[in-house]
Amino acid sequence: MRSGTSVGANYRSAVRGKSRADFIAKMGIVEEECDETLYWMQMLIEAGVMKRSRLTELMNEADQIIAIVVSSIKTARGRK
């Protein structure tokens, strides 16, 4: 739960970044937190706490968020 909500909080911080470098750094944190959230969901499945079917949609959404964040970072790095 904490790592999942951290994604949104850090994204909010990133869009309020003071500079492009600050935005890129904070988006990197968003990427890490989202990946950590995926990790914890996988651990819940492997531990038998949750069925994969209950987390599949959330895991797919997390993968999509990571793809968007990585693309945003690449775009921000490419702009001068």
Q: What is the CATH number for 49?
A: 1.20.1440.60
Place of tokens 């850090």: 10
> Taking residues 50-61, what's their average pLDDT?
96
pTM: 0.89
Count of other CB atoms within 10 angstroms of residue 80:
4
Range of the domain at 19: 2-78
d(CA 28, CA 58): 20
Q: Is 32 helix (H, G, I), strand (E, B) or coil?
A: helix
Q: Which amino acid is at 8?
A: G
User: Domain total for the chain?
Assistant: 1
Q: Which two tokens stand for residue 17?
A: 């970044």
Average pLDDT for the chain? 94
d(CA 17, CA 39): 27
